[in-house]
Amino acid sequence: MAQPTPARTHLDWWRSAVIYQVYVRSFADGDGDGTGDLAGVRARLPYLAELGVDALWFTPWYLSPLKDGGYDVADYRAIDPAFGTLAEAEKLIAEAGELGIRTIVDIVPNHVSDQHSWFRAALAAGPGSPERELFHFRPGRGEHGELPPNDWPSQFAGSTEPVWTRLPDGEWYLHLFTPEQPDLNWAHPAVRREHEEVLRFWFERGVAGVRIDSAALLAKDPELPDFVEGRDPNPFVDRDELHDIYRSWRRVADDYDGIFVGEVWLPDTERFARYLRPDELHTAFNFAFLSCPWDPERLRTSIDETLAEHAPVGAPATWVLCNHDVTRTATRYGREDTAFAFATKAYGTPTDLVLGTRRARAAALLSLALPGAVYLYQGEELGLPEVEIPRDRIEDPMHFRSGGTDPGRDGCRVPLPWVADAPYAGFGSQQETWLPQPVNWSSYAADLQAEDSGSMLRLYREAIRLRPAFGDGPLTWRPAPDGVLHFVRQDGAAHCLVNLSATPVDLPDHSELLLGSGPLDPQGRLPQDTAVWLRA
Ligand code: ISL
- The region that residue 168 occupies, defined by phi over 0 for left and psi between -120 and 50 for alpha, beta otherwise, is alpha
Span from the CA of 58 to the centroid of ligand 1 (angstroms): 16
Closest-lying ligand 1 atom to the alpha carbon of residue 325: 19
pTM here is 0.97
Residue 8 has a pLDDT of 62
Closest-lying ligand 1 atom to the alpha carbon of residue 323: 21
SS3 for 378-421 is: CCHHHCCCCCCCCHHHCCCHHHHHCCCCCCCCHHHCCCCCCCCC
Q: How are the residues of the chain apportioned to helix, strand and coil, as percentages rounded to the nearest 5?
A: 35, 15, 50
| Pairwise CA distance, residues 335 & 436, whole Å | 23
| Pairwise CA distance, residues 179 & 173, whole Å | 9
Question: For ligand 1, is residue 157 a contact (CB within 6 Å)?
Answer: yes
Span from the CA of 210 to the centroid of ligand 1 (angstroms): 17
Q: Whose CA is nearest to atom 10 of ligand 1?
A: 325
DSSP state of 15: G
Closest-lying ligand 1 atom to the alpha carbon of residue 156: 1
Question: For ligand 1, is residue 108 a contact (CB within 6 Å)?
Answer: yes
CB count within 10 Å of CB 244 equals 12
Question: For ligand 1, is residue 325 a contact (CB within 6 Å)?
Answer: yes
Beta pairing partners, 18 = 374
Question: For ligand 1, is residue 76 a contact (CB within 6 Å)?
Answer: no
Q: Whose CA is nearest to atom 22 of ligand 1?
A: 71
Residue 63: exposed, middle, or buried by beta-carbon count in 10 A (0-12, 13-18, 19+)? buried
Span from the CA of 534 to the centroid of ligand 1 (angstroms): 38
Span from the CA of 398 to the centroid of ligand 1 (angstroms): 9
Q: How far is CA 516 from its chain centroid?
A: 26
Query: Is the CB of residue 240 less than 8 Å from the CB of residue 233?
Result: yes
Which residue among 213, 227, 413 is best mutated to probe the pocket of ligand 1, counting the most ligand atoms within 8 A of its Cβ?
A: 213
Query: Is the CB of residue 22 less than 8 Å from the CB of residue 56?
Result: yes
Q: Minimal CA–CA distance to 165: which of 150, 145, 178, 179?
A: 179
Q: Whose CA is nearest to atom 3 of ligand 1?
A: 157
Residue 204 has a pLDDT of 98
**Cα–Cα–Cα angle for 290, 396, 45, rounded to 5 degrees:** 65
Question: For ligand 1, is residue 342 a contact (CB within 6 Å)?
Answer: yes
Question: For ligand 1, is residue 396 a contact (CB within 6 Å)?
Answer: no
CB count within 10 Å of CB 396 equals 21
For residue 336, report the phi and psi dihedrals to the nearest 5 degrees: -65, -45
Which residue among 214, 227, 272, 290 is best mutated to probe the pocket of ligand 1, counting the most ligand atoms within 8 A of its Cβ?
A: 214
Beta pairing partners, 489 = 494
Query: Is the CB of residue 210 less than 8 Å from the CB of residue 202?
Result: yes
Span from the CA of 59 to the centroid of ligand 1 (angstroms): 12
Which residue among 71, 105, 324 is best mutated to probe the pocket of ligand 1, counting the most ligand atoms within 8 A of its Cβ?
A: 71
Question: For ligand 1, is residue 156 a contact (CB within 6 Å)?
Answer: yes
Q: Whose CA is nearest to atom 18 of ligand 1?
A: 325
Q: Minimal CA–CA distance to 22: which of 377, 368, 330, 263?
A: 377
Q: Per this entry, what is the length of the chain?
A: 536
SS3 for 235-251 is: CCCCCCHHHHHHHHHHH
Q: Whose CA is nearest to atom 8 of ligand 1?
A: 155
Q: Whose CA is nearest to atom 16 of ligand 1?
A: 71
Span from the CA of 264 to the centroid of ligand 1 (angstroms): 10
Pairing of β 484-489 and β 476-477: antiparallel
Tens digit of each residue's pLDDT, the chain (536 residues): 344 444 566 889 999 999 999 999 999 999 999 999 999 999 999 999 999 999 999 999 999 999 999 999 999 999 999 999 999 999 999 999 999 999 999 999 999 999 999 999 999 999 999 999 999 999 999 999 999 999 999 988 778 789 999 999 999 999 999 999 999 999 999 999 999 999 999 999 999 999 999 999 999 999 999 999 888 999 999 999 999 999 999 999 999 999 999 999 999 999 999 999 999 999 999 999 999 999 999 999 999 999 999 999 999 999 999 999 999 999 999 999 999 999 999 999 999 999 999 999 999 999 999 999 999 999 999 999 999 999 999 999 999 988 899 999 999 999 999 999 999 999 999 999 999 999 999 999 999 999 999 999 999 999 999 999 999 999 999 999 999 999 999 999 999 999 999 999 999 999 999 999 999 999 999 999 999 999 99
Question: For ligand 1, is residue 410 a contact (CB within 6 Å)?
Answer: no
Span from the CA of 214 to the centroid of ligand 1 (angstroms): 6
| Pairwise CA distance, residues 195 & 76, whole Å | 9
Superfamily of segment(s) 473-535: Golgi alpha-mannosidase II (2.60.40.1180)
Question: For ligand 1, is residue 58 a contact (CB within 6 Å)?
Answer: no
In the chain, domain spans: 117-174, 473-535
Residues with a catalytic annotation lie at 213, 263
Q: Whose CA is nearest to atom 11 of ligand 1?
A: 214
CB count within 10 Å of CB 461 equals 17
Q: Whose CA is nearest to atom 19 of ligand 1?
A: 325
Closest-lying ligand 1 atom to the alpha carbon of residue 324: 19
Q: Whose CA is nearest to atom 23 of ligand 1?
A: 71
| Pairwise CA distance, residues 135 & 171, whole Å | 12
Span from the CA of 71 to the centroid of ligand 1 (angstroms): 9
Query: Is the CB of residue 496 less than 8 Å from the CB of residue 487?
Result: yes
Query: Is the CB of residue 353 less than 8 Å from the CB of residue 330?
Result: yes
Span from the CA of 376 to the centroid of ligand 1 (angstroms): 18
Question: For ligand 1, is residue 177 a contact (CB within 6 Å)?
Answer: yes
Pick the CATH number of 117-174 from 3.90.400, 3.20.20, 1.20.1070, 3.40.50: 3.90.400
Query: Is the CB of residue 498 less than 8 Å from the CB of residue 527?
Result: no
| Pairwise CA distance, residues 506 & 255, whole Å | 52
Q: Whose CA is nearest to atom 12 of ligand 1?
A: 214
Closest-lying ligand 1 atom to the alpha carbon of residue 159: 4
Span from the CA of 76 to the centroid of ligand 1 (angstroms): 19
